[in-house]
Structure 1
Amino acid sequence: MNKKLASFAAGLLAVMMLFTSCGKGGKTTDTSKKDVAEVVKASNPSKMPDVSKNRKDTLIVGTTAPSGKFNPIYSDSVYDSWVVSLVFDGLISNDEQGNPTPLIAKEWKISEDGKTYTFTLNKGVKFSDGKEVTAEDVAFTFTAICDPSYDGPRTDAVSSLVGYEEYNQDKEGKVKEVSGIKVIDKYTISFTLKEPKAPAIYDFGYGIMPKHIYNFEKGNIKALKDKFLSPVGAGPYLFKEYKAGQEIVFEKNPNYWRGEPKIAKIIMKVTNANTVIQELTTGSVDVDRIPSKPEQIELVKKAEFLDIYSYPSNSYGYIGWNLRDEKFKDKKVRQALAYGLNRAGFIQAYYKGLGDVCNAPVSKVSWAYTDELNKYEYNPELANKLLDEAGWVKKEDGYRYKDGKKFTIHWMTYTGSKYVEALTPILIENWKQIGVEVIPELMEFSTLAQKVYDEQKFEMYNMAWSLSIDPDPSGIFSIEQDKLGGFNSVGWRNEESERLIKEGLKETDMEKRKQIYHQWVKLANEELPYLFLSYAKDTYAVSSKVKGLRLSPFTDWTYDIHKVELVDVK
């Protein structure tokens, strides 16, 4: 449901639609029927190594190392979100086309004015400790995000609720509840917004936490955060063990309310770009994302027992620069760096026809995408001109200086990524040619995420966004997210952007909303809060013994995981 940050070392996850389920006040979803994954079946499943054939009750999924934020209101990476999806269920989910579907909530209604969402819960849904899920647990989960001490990235899901400001800004504990959250009875709860919000339903996909386990005194959310490594929810799997940097182990929840999972154990095993193909082809990993590169795909095909899933990625790769830093404040500098990087050359060299240059913070699978953008095609001459205009003077040593300071960028990036390995020499050399020195600083992805989001101590970094179903950019680019722990780590504060974001959230006419987002996309393309890099396909290798995975631009391997099974291969 939410936007998540990701590395290109492993998996990534924008189609939104206006809709109403079981009620009035909205329109049905129009997803333009995005395709689910194309699947190339294994040519000879019998070639499966014995180590995999004999592993009949355990699914091993490759992952980049999570950061350990195993909580539905704090997880901020794809990999932590996989853990959350296995352990927690939310009120709603979605299908392969991005349409919202019931989950813990069996139905919902939207009021005539579009402001109140009333959810009716399924009865008999239980947390893994046997306690029933009730409306009180739902209220607790969303009230926690409203807490004055909350420092995670989910604020956009609750900030439009009636009573949010009163509860959030009350530091003395006098305001006991959020007035827009109403527990009607044990199985019914309503949420009232200050004004209509077109994609509001997707705010209710976050996992529901048991109040009796996670409860904390208002203003002391640390008590909840202390339970990051012992998550308990109503999902299909039980969290059993976490070895940082190595693996996370899960066992099936035998009392899962939608039916006992077919696979007894799941292990998320940490892999990287240097090991992923070997892990897959030797059978030590059953599912993992592979680089969308012809030579990598060919290696997987040669193993003969692996299925290959591919689909347009609802994501993009980017470089983020700290806009609080003087050298990045001038738009001309950011544009010069865009013109000065041969992105097309890099993408062709890396993806070999399976990737595209990205010029906007929205996926090509989204209805909000427009191609009417500045392409920033490689142009060192124009880059030099813009840097001259910005006052950066090139000296005898070939580098640029301003106010006595050399134009040096410390670039934080992550280890274990072929994408980074391919980008690094191109970026360093291209920018050296226009007088900019780049010093890479490599670290584990989880460390990078902490420095970028929790501390905001960086000059430049690169990551990728796994986008939400709705293209609303407020969760990443709103001024509200410019805070420690928020997703607007680069500190982009643009009043026109804020105006368009707010207009887009209010507008319920699909065509009008599309035009608003087209304006916003063009603004971001001009202002460059990021240097947009690449689009690619998501490609997964999956052992032919694994049946029932639901992979698409809007669903990952955890969706309906209780239905996935391991079959014997002869």
Structure 2
Amino acid sequence: MPNKPYRKLGSALLAIVMGAAVVLSGCTGEAAGTDGKAASKDPSKSPAGTTASKKEKVDGGEIITFNLTEHQGWIKLYTTTLVSSEIQELVFNGLYRLTDLQDIVPDLAEDMPKSSSDFKELTVKLRKDIKFSDGHLLTADDVVFSYNIPISKDYVGSRKSTFEKLQKVDKIDETTVKFTFSEPYIGYYGMLTHQIMPQHVLKDVPVKELEKSPFFKQQPIGSGPYKLTEWKQGQYLSFTRNETYFKGKPSVEKVTIKVIPNSNVAMAQLQTGEINAGSVDGENLAVVKDYAKKSGKIKLHEGIATTSYTYIGWNNIHPLFKDKLVRQALTTAIDRQGIIDNVIEGQGVIIHSQTPPPFWNYTDKVPKFNYNEAKAKQMLVEAGWKPGSDGVLVKDGMQFAFELLVSQGNKAREKIATVVQRN
């Protein structure tokens, strides 16, 4: 039962709940927002406690936050989790980035890509003021190098399909590259957001060995706003700001991301001041809200719509789920509104696709499978599943039984899994 960012569209999904985050920050430490995912402490106080104008930009401080799962590594082509992608964005940039509303905007690129008349070529112009955190200039050579990895025959990572229409990428000059596709390809939206890596660091590492390289495991060098200072696997990652970042020095000096597999433990650390920013799930909302009110040490910001959703991905390779009618029946059998009301304290809404209403590509004209137990049972009958002697559905001698995998330590998802099982 994974969590997906709206920024990165995946395959069609069925049982989907869109969440609305409750963002908090501890007032005992400095915290400032990045992409709306962390809230700041009282802006009327400087880190030293002196009075400052509410409009004055406070420089310094540290965000201490947490993730429930471990970071996988530093090359996005070889990682698969949202946690890893968001951490990588502290260190790296792409030619373009996607906004919260799915619009593509320049990042390392100077402007939007220019398309050829047959839509098989895209030309991208780079900014001239970009350096990697080690001081080396970022040029067209680094772009060509980075995009030659996923189209290499030796690349076997999970993101290969994103680049399958890309035939080649050429350097036109030091700040210009040209992408050539086998056919007109709208998928460039996702492709052009991938991280640009330093050729001078990785040029001698064979593609087949990149996933085992020190760069992937411990020594990333990027052009992003932060630099990795330490990664203790299973414990924390710490970052310091990139003073020469091409978009300007970040306001927050340090970022620490703890690995805390249990959300209850994370909320306890918030109360003790060991972390100072993070999101609260429905499981802990009432307790944290009460603590914030009584202690005055936490600022709680409710009703912030997130760009993520929680879903169940039916394994279409599994014999039970190959039938589309069965997948639709299972979605119809799940009381998603009940999950929102009773598990996550109303902090979410049901959506019927992987696109939320604010996005430019949202449409309500999609199939809907609202909760209806009787209809779900009838759909399974139509799919050939009949109750056996023990009441369990049977078809061709096979019982309808399966395991639902859920991330350990996420109490809300564990409860959701129990509700789904009961449904």
Range class of TM-score, shorter chain: 0.7 to 0.9
Please name the residue that 2:133 is paired with: 128
- How many angstroms does 1:144 deviate by? 0.5
Q: Is 2:235 aligned against 1:242?
A: no
Please name the residue that 2:62 is paired with: 58
Please name the residue that 1:282 is paired with: 272
- CA deviation digits over 1:54-96, x for unaligned, max 9? xx64321222223423213233222111221111122223555
- How many angstroms does 1:267 deviate by? 0.9
Please name the residue that 1:351 is paired with: 344
Identity %, equivalent residues: 29
Which letter maps to 1:222? E
Which letter maps to 1:397? D
Q: Is 2:209 aligned against 1:222?
A: yes
Q: Which of 190, 209, 218 in structure 1 is aligned with 2:197?
A: 209
Q: Is 2:111 aligned against 1:107?
A: yes
Secondary structure, aligned partner of 2:230: strand
Give, in whole Å, the separation in 2 of the partners of 1:215 and 1:15: 28
Q: Cα gap change, 1:6/1:427 in structure 2, threshold over 3 Å: closer, same or farther?
A: closer
Give, in whole Å, the separation in 2 of the partners of 1:182 and 1:39: 39
- How many angstroms does 1:13 deviate by? 4.9
- How many angstroms does 1:415 deviate by? 1.2
Secondary structure, aligned partner of 2:343: helix
Give, in whole Å, the separation in 2 of the partners of 1:89 and 1:14: 15
Q: Is the 8 A contact 2:126 2:140 kept in 1?
A: yes
Q: Cα gap change, 1:274/1:106 in structure 2, threshold over 3 Å: closer, same or farther?
A: same
Higher RCO (C-alpha 8 Å, min separation 6): 2
Q: Is the 8 A contact 2:303 2:347 kept in 1?
A: no
Q: Is 2:75 aligned against 1:71?
A: yes
Q: Cα gap change, 1:131/1:309 in structure 2, threshold over 3 Å: closer, same or farther?
A: farther
Give, in whole Å, the separation in 2 of the partners of 1:296 and 1:314: 25
Please name the residue that 1:295 is paired with: 286
Give, in whole Å, the separation in 2 of the partners of 1:101 and 1:382: 44
Q: Cα gap change, 1:116/1:353 in structure 2, threshold over 3 Å: closer, same or farther?
A: same
Which letter maps to 1:120? K
Q: Is the 8 A contact 1:65 1:79 kept in 2?
A: yes
- CA deviation digits over 1:120-169, x for unaligned, max 9? 222342222222111111001011111112223433443222xx2xxxxx
Q: Is the 8 A contact 2:210 2:216 kept in 1?
A: no
Give, in whole Å, the separation in 1 of the partners of 2:43 and 2:173: 55
Please name the residue that 1:410 is paired with: 403
Q: Cα gap change, 1:44/1:374 in structure 2, threshold over 3 Å: closer, same or farther?
A: same
Q: Is the 8 A contact 1:145 1:158 kept in 2?
A: yes
Secondary structure, aligned partner of 2:327: helix
Please name the residue that 2:32 is paired with: none
Q: Which of 188, 207, 211 in structure 2 is aligned with 1:200?
A: 188
Please name the residue that 2:359 is paired with: 366
Please name the residue that 1:329 is paired with: 322
Give, in whole Å, the separation in 1 of the partners of 2:153 and 2:124: 26
Give, in whole Å, the separation in 2 of the partners of 1:356 and 1:236: 33
Secondary structure, aligned partner of 1:145: coil
Which letter maps to 1:289? S
Aligned residue pairs total: 379
Q: C-alpha root-mean-square deviation of aligned residues, in Å? A: 3.4
Please name the residue that 1:146 is paired with: 151
Q: Is the 8 A contact 2:68 2:409 kept in 1?
A: no
Which letter maps to 1:382? K
Which letter maps to 2:279? R
Q: Is the 8 A contact 2:406 2:414 kept in 1?
A: no
- CA deviation digits over 1:474-517, x for unaligned, max 9? xxxxxxxxxxxxxxxxxxxxxxxxxxxxxxxxxxxxxxxxxxxx
- CA deviation digits over 1:332-357, x for unaligned, max 9? 32233223222222222123433222
Q: Which of 170, 175, 183 in structure 2 is aligned with 1:182?
A: 170
Q: Cα gap change, 1:94/1:132 in structure 2, threshold over 3 Å: closer, same or farther?
A: same
Q: Is the 8 A contact 1:339 1:376 kept in 2?
A: yes
Q: Cα gap change, 1:364/1:216 in structure 2, threshold over 3 Å: closer, same or farther?
A: farther
Q: Cα gap change, 1:238/1:308 in structure 2, threshold over 3 Å: closer, same or farther?
A: same
Which letter maps to 2:172? I
Q: Is the 8 A contact 1:41 1:308 kept in 2?
A: no
Q: Is the 8 A contact 1:149 1:221 kept in 2?
A: yes
Structure 1 unaligned segments of length 5 or more: list them.
17-35, 51-55, 165-177, 431-570
Give, in whole Å, the separation in 2 of the partners of 1:195 and 1:147: 19
Please name the residue that 2:93 is paired with: 89
Secondary structure, aligned partner of 2:63: strand
* Pairs within 5 Å for 1:428-507: 428-430=421-423
TM-score (norm 2): 0.78
Please name the residue that 1:544 is paired with: none
TM-score (norm 1): 0.59
Give, in whole Å, the separation in 2 of the partners of 1:62 and 1:45: 26
Secondary structure, aligned partner of 1:361: coil
Give, in whole Å, the separation in 2 of the partners of 1:415 and 1:67: 15
Q: Cα gap change, 1:407/1:282 in structure 2, threshold over 3 Å: closer, same or farther?
A: same
Structure 2 unaligned segments of length 5 or more: list them.
10-34, 50-59
- How many angstroms does 1:189 deviate by? 1.3
Larger mean Cα displacement after TM superposition, 390-399 or 319-328: 390-399
Give, in whole Å, the separation in 1 of the partners of 2:102 and 2:377: 43
